[in-house]
Amino acid sequence: MATPVMDKAEATAKTDASPYITVTFRIRRFNPEVSEHAVWEDFPIEIDPKERVLDGLHKIKWDVDGTLTFRRSCAHGICGSDAMRINGKNRLACKTLIKDINPEKPITIEAIKGLTVLKDLVVDMEPFFQAYRDVMPFLVAEGNEPTRERLQSAEDRERFDDTTKCILCAACTSSCPVFWNDGQYFGPAAIVNAHRFIFDSRDDAGEQRLEILNDKDGVWRCRTTFNCTDACPRGIEVTKAIQEVKRALITRRF
């Protein structure tokens, strides 16, 4: 059987239909072994606008410059490891489509703010995770070991449903101006995770967590700027959760 041959016009039309466009990734690079200053570096790449910023970073790392350093794991918005500032806004690289952020201009990419940059887009997450550990992010149930599952009504579960969605990406905490100015502040993510247990009807350590957050670096430092709510890639109402913790501290009802 004769093999179908593409004529020249067809081939040109196919080339013209290519979804690829040239997009410049402008990345803030930092390597403490080379310089104490960060520099912006441009990487023009061919990419389908329907691809994600993470795909572009992979192209650069795999095909252009293997020294580019960033974190990622799941690539599907679950692990929370690739939060970064993209065009000045905290986002997950794996959930940000090129076409949604004006690919006609260079896309600026830099590390999240308020945490020490170790290299390129990688920051030291330890202060963030220390604040998380400090609020006791686990169920504390007193009394005898139950012989069966601890039951909870749908209404009681609903009380803290929103804050269970946190993936600890630090997009909220590192978008908070209070955290930028004073890294001692617990930050929105730690408070969100405290909220998740304070309002859990099965938990018995709510008072303890509230006392931890009733600290000069605790929940009262929040200035209600809503940056955290805007930054959350999971759509958690972070500022609302912080306000609920403040209210619980005043009323001691939760």
Residues that bind ligand FES (CB under 6 A): 72-75, 77-82, 92, 94
Q: How far is the CB of 77 from ligand FES (least distance, A)?
A: 5
For residue 41, give the 3-state DSSP assignment: strand
* Cα angle 157-227-224, degrees, rounded to a multiple of 5: 75
Query: Whole-number minimum distance, CB 78 to ligand FES, in Å?
Result: 5
As a whole number of angstroms, the distance between CA 54 and CA 47 comes to 11
How far, in Å, CA of 146 to CA of 128, rounded? 34
- How far apart CA 80 and CA 127 sit, in angstroms, is 16
Q: Report whether 24 contacts 6 (CB < 8 A).
A: no
The smaller minimum CB distance to ligand FES, of residues 82 and 200, is found at: 82
Is the Cβ of residue 64 or residue 78 nearer to ligand FES in the bound state? 78
CB of 93 to ligand FES, least distance (A): 6
3-state helix, strand, coil in the chain (%, to 5): 35, 15, 50
CB nearer to ligand FES: give 171 or 219. 171
Q: How far is the CB of 72 from ligand FES (least distance, A)?
A: 4
Considering the complex, state which of residue 92 and residue 232 has its C-beta at the smaller distance from ligand FES.
92
